[in-house]
Amino acid sequence: MITDNGAPYVDEFRQSFGRAENQTDIQFNERLEMNVGGGYIHETARSTRYDNSSSVKTNRIGYAYLQTEWKALDQLTLIGGARYDHNELFAAAFSPKLALQYKINSKLSVKASVGRGFKAPDFRQLYLNFTNTAAGSYSVFGSVEAQKIITELNRLGQISSLEPAFYGLSTLKPEFSTGFNLGVHFQDAKWSVSANIFRNNIENLIDSRLVAYRTGGAQIFSYLNVKNAFTQGIETDVQHKVNKHLSFTAGYQFLLTGDQAEIDAINAGKVFTRDQNGFSRRMNRSEYVGLPNRSKHMANFKILYTKNAFFANTRLIYRSKWTTTDTDGNGLFNSNDAFAKGYLQVNAAAGYEFNKGLSVQAGTDNLFNYTDVINLPNLPGRTFYVTVSYQFFNKNPK
């Protein structure tokens, strides 16, 4: 492959993934059932993105789980469960969960849950060594080698600046979270509406961060742990069937995030920023933004038209601004730092399914050609596509 600057680009990736799993479902009676199971995963990967193509990374994971569903009343259902994971690269973890659903009537129900979660760093977060010369030459280095690689690049004069997150790089630890969720759901023949309030307390959140800039302006990213992080907010989802041909769906999320240690430091008056004249001053709690690369507002809207074998849809995806760089150098993200602009992406598609299993679809992604090479290197400009598929079995004649 040849990149847009004429340099050759080689990317080799080989992965093997094997899983053996068994699940047994036990129905005690019409109100009580149990699911019990376990499994074993063996995974290897070797790639030019992980050191080199001759270096094989291996991990083995054993797990077991149990879940019980009890219909205590006609309106009330309780679900309890637990999962045990033994990850060869990291410590074992036990994850319990409890949930309930109460049906107020045939259309309205309330749900609540609390549970413990576990996530170990993957190969990408540990070993990745990748520079995308095809899209701005940004680099992503896994935590195992990031400091060593960037320090060597700095010695060679290829680093223009080190971000505060660079000094927080260390060996990644597994992520543990405790999540709380409370929601309400309404459904009838034409409407489906749900709303949820959630809170997640996360120990050692595995987060991607901008850690350095190359002399040419290209960004370098890596992964680090945030010791005590949280995410909380509201999610809504609406589906409406206007008639037998036309329907729409819409969703919205309001999100707040933060690092509890940073909030404690702000409340204690230990964090400073700069005023409009460049003088140092104590930072106010209201100026704190939270974790980087998260938008406070995200929304989507889709309208779908179908008639017989024809369909057409348009989808709108909105993301509000998000912080990218700690420009005032105080080690956290606030309203005085650099933000990426919010944007709206529009996708449209149409298709037709012919007799005898043949279907054709055409569409355009990113209709208005929004791009941000620095902050969204993986978002290409306007893209047109046509797909033709043929189904050999289970054809439904029109």
User: Sorting pLDDT into bands at 50, 70 and 90, what band is 5?
Assistant: very low
R_g of the chain, CA atoms, integer Å: 25
Rounded to whole angstroms, the Cα distance separating 263 from 275 reads 20
Q: Which residues pair with 216 in a beta bridge?
A: none
Comparison of pLDDT for 33 and 55, the residue scoring more: 33
Comparison of pLDDT for 36 and 17, the residue scoring more: 36
Q: Which residues pair with 178 in a beta bridge?
A: 116, 201
Residue 300 near residue 315 (C-beta atoms within 8 A): yes
Mind spelling out the 3-state secondary structure of 323-382? EEECCCCCCCCECCCEEECCEEEEEEEEEEECHHHEEEEEEEECCCCCCCCCCCCCCCCC
- Could you tell me the sign of the dihedral formed by the alpha carbons of 291, 292, 298, 302, in that order? negative
186-196 tens-digit pLDDT:
999 999 999 99
- Could you tell me the sign of the dihedral formed by the alpha carbons of 326, 265, 176, 46, in that order? positive
206-229 tens-digit pLDDT:
999 989 999 988 889 999 999 999
**Token pair in block for residue 205:** 């959140």
237-267 tens-digit pLDDT:
999 999 999 999 999 999 999 999 999 999 9
Q: What pLDDT is stored for residue 382 in this prediction?
A: 94
User: Sorting pLDDT into bands at 50, 70 and 90, what band is 317?
Assistant: very high
User: Sorting pLDDT into bands at 50, 70 and 90, what band is 2?
Assistant: very low
pLDDT of 386 > 50? The answer is: yes
Q: Considering the entire predicted model, what is its pTM?
A: 0.86
Nearest to 142 by CA among 214, 221, 45: 221
Rounded to a whole number, what is the distance in angstroms from the first to the last CA of the chain? 44
Average pLDDT over residues 149-178: 91
Comparison of pLDDT for 57 and 268, the residue scoring more: 268
Average pLDDT over residues 43-49: 74
Q: Is 266 helix (H, G, I), strand (E, B) or coil?
A: helix
Residue 229 near residue 257 (C-beta atoms within 8 A): yes
Instruction: Measure Cα distances from 65 to 43, 90, 391 in Å.
Output: 20, 19, 37
322-370 tens-digit pLDDT:
999 888 888 899 999 999 999 999 999 999 998 778 999 999 999 999 9
User: Sorting pLDDT into bands at 50, 70 and 90, what band is 135?
Assistant: low
Domain ranges of the chain: 72-77+96-390
Cα 297 from chain centroid (whole Å): 15
Q: What pLDDT is stored for residue 6 in this prediction?
A: 46
Average pLDDT over residues 165-172: 90
- Residue 165 DSSP symbol: G
When mean pLDDT is compared across 155-164, 177-186, 234-243, 389-398, the lowest value belongs to 389-398
pLDDT of 53 > 80? The answer is: no
Q: Which residues pair with 214 in a beta bridge?
A: 159
pLDDT of 388 > 80? The answer is: yes
Q: What pLDDT is stored for residue 47 in this prediction?
A: 66
Rounded to whole angstroms, the Cα distance separating 371 from 380 reads 7
Q: What pLDDT is stored for residue 1 in this prediction?
A: 42
Task: Calculate what percentage of the chain has a pLDDT beyond 90.
Answer: 70
Q: What pLDDT is stored for residue 4 in this prediction?
A: 42
Rounded to whole angstroms, the Cα distance separating 64 from 38 reads 4
Task: Calculate what percentage of the chain has a pLDDT beyond 70.
Answer: 92
Homologous superfamily assigned to 72-77+96-390: TonB-dependent receptor, beta-barrel domain (2.40.170.20)
DSSP 29-81: ETTEEEEEEEEEEEEEEEETTBS-TT--EEEEEEEEEEEEEE--SSSEEEEEE
Q: What pLDDT is stored for residue 52 in this prediction?
A: 57
Comparison of pLDDT for 123 and 76, the residue scoring more: 76
Rounded to whole angstroms, the Cα distance separating 176 from 169 reads 19
Nearest to 112 by CA among 193, 198, 47: 198
Q: What pLDDT is stored for residue 48 in this prediction?
A: 63
Comparison of pLDDT for 15 and 134, the residue scoring more: 15
pLDDT of 125 > 60? The answer is: yes
| Highest mean predicted confidence (pLDDT) among 43-57, 292-306, 365-379 | 292-306
Mean pLDDT of the chain: 90
